[in-house]
Homo-oligomer: A and B are copies of this chain.
Amino acid sequence: MKYPGGIKKQGSSSINYANRGMNFEADINVTNSYYINNDIAVIYKKPTPITINKVDYKSRVDAVITEAHFNTPSTTDYNGIYKGKYIDFEAKETKQNYFPLSNIHKHQIEHLNKIVRHGGIGFILVNFVKLNKIYLLEAEKLCSFIESNERKSIPIEYFENYGYLIKPKFNPRIDYLNIIDQIYYGGKL
């Protein structure tokens, strides 16, 4: 059986995840495409929020933005629908053995809090690059840590105790909906 890049499958341990940290966003996008193409869920990454200052209309169909600025995001990067439920999450990575809270904007945490209050499913995906581990942490757990702590970072132990480790797979690569199934629908891990 052949896989993209000519890698032969020799068991799941043969997957090279050494560079996965660099491709975290790409892997999530590929995962979301898998969900959409297989009619499992409709979840997209939002475009980068920018303010457009100047546009050069070279022709009727071709406009080029010649000056724009990045905005601070007021929401998270990903949202969509799964099994009738609203899904909302932010994906972050860290090279540390802890998750610095400076990695996530205050607005984004407030946004996730609102989502949960309105009956949606909110979480963060954190890629611990050096540990080669990706955890899903529910927004409720994220918020309760922040409310009950003065700490500026969340230790890995908190993820181990209250989060969910996402097992590496070929396809979908980062199968976070498997965890959502487990939490909300009593599915198998």
Shortest A116–chain B CB gap in Å is 10
B118 near A84 (CB under 8 angstroms)?
yes
Nearest-Cβ distance from residue A122 to partner chain B, whole angstroms = 10
Q: Does A119 contact B (CB under 8 A)?
A: yes
Q: Which of B36, B44, B83, B119 is close to A81, meaning CB atoms less than 8 Å apart? A: B119
A69 near B75 with CB under 8 A, answer no
What's the Cα separation between A88 and B65 when bound, in Å?
Answer: 27
Q: Is the CB of A66 within 8 A of B63?
A: no
Give 15 A-B pairs besides A36-B114, A39-B114, A46-B46 with Cβ atoms closer than 8 angstroms. Answer: A41-B118, A42-B120, A46-B47, A47-B71, A48-B50, A63-B70, A64-B67, A64-B69, A66-B67, A79-B79, A81-B86, A81-B115, A84-B119, A84-B120, A85-B86
Chain B residues with CB under 8 Å of A64's CB are: 67-69
A25 to chain B, nearest CB (A): 14
Chain A, interface residues (CB within 8 Å), range: 35 or more
Given contacts A64-B68, A65-B69, are A75 and B44 in contact (CB under 8 A)? yes
A155 within 8 A of B: no
Q: How far apart are the CA atoms of A115 and B84 in the complex, in Å?
A: 9
